[in-house]
C-alpha cells in the first residue's frame, strides 16, 4: 500500500513435480485422454448415484467387493437389455 513502512512481495515457487505435471498437461497424450474422460465419468456417476456405489452398505472388504460387483453387474445387465430392445 502507498505510504507503508514495509513492502511484501510474493512469489510462487513450483516444485519439480508440479512443473512436470504442468508439462504433462500440455502434451498431446493428456489432451487426447481428457477428451475421453467424460465417458468414464458418466459411467462412474451412474454407479454412484443410481446404484448405491457411493456409500458402503456393509462393513469389511468382502462386503464392499460384493457391493461393487453387484452394482457393476446390474449396470451391465441394464445395458444388455437396452441392446436387446
Give per-residue pLDDT as tens, 10-67: 878 788 888 899 999 999 999 999 999 999 999 889 888 888 888 888 888 998 899 9
> Looking at residue 36, what is its pLDDT?
92
pTM of the shown model: 0.54
Domains of the chain, residue spans: 14-54, 56-84
Confidence of residue 3 (pLDDT cuts 50, 70, 90): confident
Give me the count of residues in the chain. 85
Amino acid at each position: 500500500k502507498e505510504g507503508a513502512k514495509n513492502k511484501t512481495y510474493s512469489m510462487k515457487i513450483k516444485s519439480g513435480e508440479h512443473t512436470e505435471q504442468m508439462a504433462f498437461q500440455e502434451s498431446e497424450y493428456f489432451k487426447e485422454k481428457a477428451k475421453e474422460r467424460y465417458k468414464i465419468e458418466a459411467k462412474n456417476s451412474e454407479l454412484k448415484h443410481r446404484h448405491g456405489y457411493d456409500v458402503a452398505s456393509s462393513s469389511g472388504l468382502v462386503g464392499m467387493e460384493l457391493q461393487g460387483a453387484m452394482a457393476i453387474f446390474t449396470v451391465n445387465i441394464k445395458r444388455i437389455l437396452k441392446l436387446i430392445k
